[in-house]
Amino acid sequence: SYELTQPPSVSVSPGQTARITCSGDALPKQYAYWYQQKPGQAPVLVIYKDSERPSGIPERFSGSSSGTTVTLTISGVQAEDEADYYCQSADSSGTYLWVFGGGTKLTVL
Q: Which of 33, 46, 61, 106 binds another protein (CB under 8 A)?
A: 33
What secondary structure letter does DSSP report for 79?
A: G
102 contributes a contact to another protein by CB under 8 A: yes
Q: For another protein, which stretch binds (CB under 8 A), given 18-26, 63-71, 73-81, 91-99?
A: 91-99
Residues 49-88 that bind another protein (CB under 8 A): 49, 54, 86, 88
- Euclidean distance between the first and final Cα of the chain, in Å? 36
Nearer to another protein, 19 or 29 (CB): 29
24 contributes a contact to another protein by CB under 8 A: no
12 contributes a contact to another protein by CB under 8 A: no
**How many other C-beta atoms are found inside a 10 Å radius of the C-beta of residue 2?**
15
State the minimum distance, in angstroms, from the CB of residue 20 to another protein.
14
- Kindly provide the b/e burial profile for residues 15-28, where b requires at least 16 CB atoms within 10 angstroms of the residue's own CB: eeebebbbbbebbe
Tell me, letter by letter, the H, E, C secondary structure of 22-33: EECCCCCCCCCE
Distance of CA 15 to the CA centre of its chain: 19
Q: Residues interacting with another protein, by CB under 8 A? A: 1, 31, 33, 35, 37, 42-45, 48-49, 54, 86, 88-90, 95-103
